[in-house]
Structure 1
Amino acid sequence: MDYHVAKTGSDQATGTKDDPFLTINQAASLAIPGDTVTVHEGVYREWVKPRYKGLSEHRRITYQAAEGEHVVIKGSEEIKNWELVEGTVWKVVIPNPFFGDYNPYLETVFGDWLVTVEEIKHLGDVYLNGLSFYEVSSYEKLKNPEVRTETYDHWTRQVIPVHNQDQTKYVWYSEVDHQNTTIYANFQGADPNQELVEINVRRSCFYPEETGIDYITVRGFEMAQAATPWSPPTADQPGLIGANWSKGWIIENNLIHDAKCSAISIGKEKSTGHHYRTVRRDKPGYQYQLESVFDAERKGWSKETIGSHIVRNNTIYDCGQNGIVGHLGCVFSEIYDNHIYNIALKREFYGHEIAGIKLHAAIDVQIHHNRIHNCSLGLWLDWQTQGTRISKNILYKNNRDLFVEVSHGPYLVDNNILGSDYALDNIAQGGAYVNNLFAGKMVHRKELKRSTQYHLPHSTKVAGFALVYGGDDRFYNNLYFGKAGLEGVGTAHYKGYPSSLEKYIEVVHEMNADHAAFDRVEQPVYIDQNAYLNGADPYENEADKWVDPDFDPNFEIIDQGDQVFLSCELPENFDQMIGQIQSTSTLPRVRIVDAQFESPDGSDLVVDQDLLDQVRSDESPVGPLNNLTAGKNNIKIWG
């Protein structure tokens, strides 16, 4: 059955093209496996809640925008009847029943791993012609809002400029009593009754209320302005759009923006823990996160029931916490060809779960061909990153590009450009970094206080626990660009680490101790055939390397909107900087997990394509692009 929805329709209609429904939810209450819901031009202010699940890849339920038509689903409502209070400050009084059982001006940003909130923030927001306002904590702060020129990044310990300084003078404040919600806003001279003014009303735009709504496709929509809550790995993780603990969703070709916290969720659900650290306060969040994994496993978390989602070709921006978020529910998924930017740059709140893409338990997840920039953190893989491949992504102008934390591998990072000044946080082990371009510092740390799970290969079954001892990493065929005044570019931080498993075992067993010996001995690292320019520093035991400390590559990522270019210069002998093609057979196994680098189906993998999908040869240079040459390079890498 093909159902149609149009702004000219009626929910008492039959849902045909000539007799369409008025709301998407009316179609969603009827669509069954194999059906398609086509939505026509217009703005639909509703939370779409699919009722039935698809049955397989071949019997999906598809929700799509009509071809060539602009269809918008919003979690907001347009508000008129504003009253001028004084100066440029206006107010509107809204009866509480308007919000139903979810009032974003009463609900706060709250929960586990939320580290600092300078002032209590709510899930509501005010928009003037699409521009998101800032919340202030009192009426007095409305009248003379402070223009913010910079903010502090708690992770990088850096002062950074505010993304949109002019935006910070647009502020709102709310008061909620037993009967009404009063919203005050400084419109800076605009008349809100003559402009488009919207406020957050609904939590989500497209999200099933029940779990297990499998095999849903959502394509071609613009979705925006949802009051999504804080979504850590120890809580329910609703997004503006999401699968809600299901299998086999395809989210593609959408424009998604202005989620208060997270935009796309392929993550956890409530029954395996919901902010217990914050509510109960009896155990650390770390302990509750460990428990949530076992709880999920007891409740049927497996490849057969959860995950295997596809998130592709979406543009995601202006969200407060994440572009894509997921814990446990993201397993076996594929995320590619997405453009993600301006994530967590408003900085109204701060916590440990913020990134363009933030995943926990990314088992066999394939993340490739994404463009991620102007984010607080680009890509953060935390806990149980195993079988995951991060390939052919472009990251730049982020406060940090890539963070891999308390994971044991095997995971592969290949053919990426990490172009920010802070390229990599590595608090993990068991990684392979092959044919990347690093243009920023790399921070490497151990974690000897938190033991985290690892799994049987290509499975959710827990195989054991381990601390992060540091090392057991592989760096082959990478290109490192140093920069004046920037330390930590290169692999020199592995100084003192043995270069083979045999040497490591020999030293460990000379100590005549059990676990204490493993705590004190550095794990082996495998580092070879990398190129270091402009002050980038190599690992001391790297046998085959190229080092030119004085050559400045004048590296730049040129962002022209729909197109992105890599500009750099390379030395005359660059054609000699050739790296061996890496594969399952050449990458040493991961020590703790005792597993090989493989494709998700268990077959061998070969790193034989560059960032632009060009096939490598034995004469291909180090770095992410086959067509890098000596001298000046200007290569289109996106668009």
Structure 2
Amino acid sequence: MTILHVAVTGSDRADGSAEAPFRTINRAAQAALPGDTVTVHEGVYREWVNPPRGGTAVAPITYQAAVGPDGRFEPVTISGAEVVTDWRPHPGAEGRVWVARVPNALFGARNPYAERIGGDWFFDRVNTWHTGEVYLDGRSMYESLTLGGVENPEVTPDSFDPQGSLLTWYCEVGDDVTTIWANFGGVDPAEHEIEINARTFVFWPEATGVDHITVRGFTLTKAATQWAPPTALQEGLIGPHWSTGWVIEDNTITDSKNVGVSLGKEASTGQNEAAAGPDGAKGGTQREREVIQRALFLGGPAVGEPHPWHRDHVGSHTVRRNTIRDCEQAGVVGHLGAAFSTIEDNHIFRIHVKRQWHGAEVAGIKLHAAIDTVISGNTIHHTHRALWLDWQAQGTLVRRNVFYASTAEDFMVEVCHGPYLVDSNLFLSPWAVKDMSSGGAYVHNYVAGRIANCTEHQRYTPYHVPHSTAVYGVSNILGGDDRFLNNIFVGDRPSAGADGADGHEEPALASFWSGAIDMDGVPGQATFTPTPVGTSQYDAYPTPQEYPNERGSDLAGPRLPVRVEGNLYAEGAEPFRAEFTALVVGASPLRVEVVDAEAGTIRVEVDRTDDLPVVDPVTTARLGTSYQAEMPYTNPDGSDLDLSTDVFGIPRDPVVPGPFAASVAGRTLAAPGSSGYARASRRTLSAAPPPSVTSS
């Protein structure tokens, strides 16, 4: 097992020793064998790291930033951008607009300023947006569709940073040269660092099946990635590209045009066939079903194809303790290839903040087929949608995450059959959950936003043999088969009395898709009735006792029953009509406050522990089995769940509703992510309050 060294002072003609390091990481990648470590020393490396081989489960190949004497990683940046210095004043707009001409040879086979963003479920089919980008001192600017938009920029109205949207650029591509015009807000580019996207990837194997690689301790930044739907090659700034056993940890991952980390599918099983087809061709839903079948029946390297979708060959990745920000589509994405993986203790924020275009794959984390995937301990905020599980969430665990400042909702689960567990999370945005699935178990959560629920009879999606990619059956979404046990729901009416009856507007039917009326050309039936915070959204569903007798059929039609027990409702939150164990109070006994929105710091105060009732513990046996997959709620290895500790790891003794043990008086919860240390800790906890908060 060899340690290979890389330094900005090195040479690719050297031997890679500490005394004679390589100059590029790619040169070290050519030499690295299973069990080797590539140690990269301080500096900026402008290259696409394209590892030609992987390691094994017992001898992975590790790429990591060098560790200094203080135990911290040396600052190592791997960038997909190049610096441009030859900016000249644009005639007639001197001092405001600058122009640079860049040889197309800089970009290789894919020029980001000629490549149009698009694909299945990308909504803007009219305007031409490019995968290129321009950066002023590391801050990405806004593409303009015309040169006039650079000369006289206007605010992008939906942007999270309206003033920043006045920093604009425009491009035109010729046979040999790409011309870029930019408005730097009145500053002289000669006095600042101006970079442009030059490469699609930062750390990505061109081949599939490059297994068991660890990437640790870097800043990975600036990639010209393409839109990544589930029916195409899902590009990411970093990703394993249809492999198994990658570990991506303790990195800062920023400024991918679309996706930061991709665990998703490769190209041969489908490449935007729905968007490319003529009017009246198969829609995206049918194409996605075909992608799944193609992936299952890939022949493998023996016949010149990628490995089939099977846990022996694809998935089982770990993405942990990373800071992931400023990606316009998603922080983490993955169709099929995220199965059997763990995504934990990441800080994900500023996702889809420019809002110049949109599509149906936008979220902090967006996964399809998250079979036995664990999503735990993440803090996700300032996104369009924080977490989106779409199709085939089965055996999925969503645990101990913090969500806030989502402009859509914190959690959406779409056309999944379960079982999936959602426990000990904090949902702090105005919309907490959009539930277009069945088979969910929501346990010990703190929910301060509304829940929307609907059935989906138009789309038929697969469910699987337990702990396997093998398809067990296909069904539409009947709705129900959900469990809500031991949660705390906090409404937005603090003056409500103990019965919650202070009056509110009569809810009216609304579109689940915020205005969209069809899916694949079929008129949509995805509508719901907005209701107060709580579980009254499910009043039309039967209980297990009412189903499937005559009353259950009248209530639900084809809907499946729901179980709602042991929840606490405060400040106007409303319980399910048949939750006879509900506790409805006025003021909440808990206070959860975001004390530093950018840093992801949360303060929890328990004011009145006497208002927290003792409830029955939740176990695998109590949760039962999901309706379609006929599968119990377990850990990914099939063992029983352990829900005996709270979000802080404190024993639940006694068991009370919500994510916090009864003994918690006042705690601060800091966001996880890359700490800079070679042995990073998990999300930090403190019993002492920040200076601006009074401890209870």
TM-score (norm 1): 0.93
Alpha-carbon offset, residue 606 of structure 1:
2.4
Instruction: Tell me whether 1:61 sits opposite 2:61 in the alignment.
Output: yes
Residues 443, 488 of structure 1: 8 Å contact kept: no
Deviations 1:564-609 (A, max 9, x none): 123456557413x222221111112111111111111111112112
Q: Which amino acid aligns with 2:366?
A: K
Aligned residue in 2 for 1:543: 580
Distance 1:518 1:36, change over 3 A: farther
* Cα distance in 1, alignment partners of residues 189 and 295 from structure 2: 47
Instruction: Tell me whether 1:280 sits opposite 2:277 in the alignment.
Output: yes
Of residues 457-466 and 117-126 in structure 1, the stretch that sits farther from structure 2 once superposed is 117-126
* Cα distance in 2, alignment partners of residues 314 and 596 from structure 1: 32
Deviations 1:416-462 (A, max 9, x none): 00111111010000000000000001100110000100000000000
Aligned residue in 2 for 1:159: none
Q: Which amino acid aligns with 1:226?
A: A
Deviations 1:108-149 (A, max 9, x none): 11100001367321000000101110001111111111123x
* Cα distance in 2, alignment partners of residues 325 and 112 from structure 1: 15
Q: For residues 482-497 of structure 1, what are the structure 2 equivalents within 5 Å?
A: 482-484=491-493, 487-497=531-541
2:241 equivalent among 231, 244, 260: 244
Aligned residue in 2 for 1:427: 436
Instruction: Tell me whether 1:534 sits opposite 2:571 in the alignment.
Output: yes
Aligned residue in 1 for 2:223: 226
Distance 1:633 1:62, change over 3 A: closer
* Cα distance in 2, alignment partners of residues 176 and 625 from structure 1: 57
* Cα distance in 1, alignment partners of residues 297 and 569 from structure 2: 48
Distance 1:568 1:353, change over 3 A: same
Aligned residue in 1 for 2:562: 525
Aligned residue in 1 for 2:518: none
* Cα distance in 1, alignment partners of residues 151 and 183 from structure 2: 7
Deviations 1:237-290 (A, max 9, x none): 010000000000000000000000000011100011011111123210111100
Q: Which amino acid aligns with 2:286?
A: Q
Q: Which amino acid aligns with 1:280?
A: G
* Cα distance in 1, alignment partners of residues 193 and 313 from structure 2: 43
Deviations 1:455-498 (A, max 9, x none): 00000000000111111000000000000489431100111322
Instruction: Tell me whether 1:351 sits opposite 2:359 in the alignment.
Output: yes
Residues 477, 578 of structure 1: 8 Å contact kept: no
Residues 542, 556 of structure 2: 8 Å contact kept: no
| Secondary structure at the counterpart of residue 505 of structure 1 | coil
| Secondary structure at the counterpart of residue 193 of structure 1 | helix
Aligned residue in 1 for 2:339: 331
Q: Which amino acid aligns with 1:491?
A: T
* Cα distance in 2, alignment partners of residues 144 and 348 from structure 1: 17
Aligned residue in 2 for 1:82: 87
Aligned residue in 2 for 1:192: 189
Aligned residue in 1 for 2:36: 35
* Cα distance in 2, alignment partners of residues 634 and 249 from structure 1: 34
| Secondary structure at the counterpart of residue 171 of structure 2 | strand
Deviations 1:11-53 (A, max 9, x none): 1111111001100000111111011101011000000000111
Distance 1:469 1:569, change over 3 A: same
Instruction: Tell me whether 1:141 sits opposite 2:149 in the alignment.
Output: yes
1:610 equivalent among 646, 649, 657: 646
Aligned residue in 1 for 2:414: 405
| Secondary structure at the counterpart of residue 29 of structure 1 | helix
Aligned residue in 2 for 1:583: 619
TM-score (norm 2): 0.86
Residues 105, 181 of structure 1: 8 Å contact kept: yes
| Secondary structure at the counterpart of residue 341 of structure 1 | strand
* Cα distance in 1, alignment partners of residues 31 and 651 from structure 2: 47
Of residues 556-565 and 203-212 in structure 1, the stretch that sits farther from structure 2 once superposed is 556-565
Q: Which amino acid aligns with 1:496?
A: A
- What RMSD in Å do the two structures reach over aligned CA positions? 1.9
Residues 574, 621 of structure 1: 8 Å contact kept: no
Q: Which amino acid aligns with 1:480?
A: F
* Cα distance in 2, alignment partners of residues 318 and 345 from structure 1: 7
* Cα distance in 1, alignment partners of residues 454 and 598 from structure 2: 36
Q: In percent, how many aligned pairs have the same letter?
A: 43
Residues 119, 229 of structure 2: 8 Å contact kept: yes
Residues 592, 602 of structure 2: 8 Å contact kept: no
* Cα distance in 2, alignment partners of residues 555 and 566 from structure 1: 6
* Cα distance in 2, alignment partners of residues 146 and 588 from structure 1: 56
* Cα distance in 1, alignment partners of residues 609 and 54 from structure 2: 59
Contiguous gaps of at least 5 residues in structure 2: 68-72, 299-307, 494-503, 505-529, 672-683, 685-696
Instruction: Tell me whether 1:179 sits opposite 2:176 in the alignment.
Output: yes
* Cα distance in 2, alignment partners of residues 319 and 615 from structure 1: 37
Q: For residues 116-515 of structure 1, what are the structure 2 equivalents within 5 Å?
A: 116=124, 119-148=127-156, 150-151=157-158, 162-281=159-278, 282-299=281-298, 300-399=308-407, 400-484=409-493, 487-500=531-544, 503-507=546-550
* Cα distance in 2, alignment partners of residues 230 and 497 from structure 1: 38
Aligned residue in 1 for 2:517: none
Distance 1:224 1:409, change over 3 A: same
Residues 612, 637 of structure 1: 8 Å contact kept: no
| Secondary structure at the counterpart of residue 19 of structure 1 | coil
1:636 equivalent among 669, 681, 686: 669
Residues 365, 389 of structure 1: 8 Å contact kept: yes
Contiguous gaps of at least 5 residues in structure 1: 152-161, 512-516
Residues 541, 556 of structure 2: 8 Å contact kept: no
Of residues 553-562 and 78-87 in structure 1, the stretch that sits farther from structure 2 once superposed is 553-562
Aligned residue in 2 for 1:155: none
Of residues 261-270 and 139-148 in structure 1, the stretch that sits farther from structure 2 once superposed is 139-148
Instruction: Tell me whether 1:620 sits opposite 2:655 in the alignment.
Output: yes
* Cα distance in 2, alignment partners of residues 309 and 109 from structure 1: 28
Residues 117, 349 of structure 1: 8 Å contact kept: no
* Cα distance in 1, alignment partners of residues 366 and 116 from structure 2: 21
Q: Which amino acid aligns with 2:28?
A: A
Aligned residue in 2 for 1:158: none
Alpha-carbon offset, residue 97 of structure 1:
1.7
* Cα distance in 2, alignment partners of residues 22 and 316 from structure 1: 27
* Cα distance in 1, alignment partners of residues 480 and 531 from structure 2: 20
Alpha-carbon offset, residue 635 of structure 1:
4.1
Residues 147, 166 of structure 1: 8 Å contact kept: yes
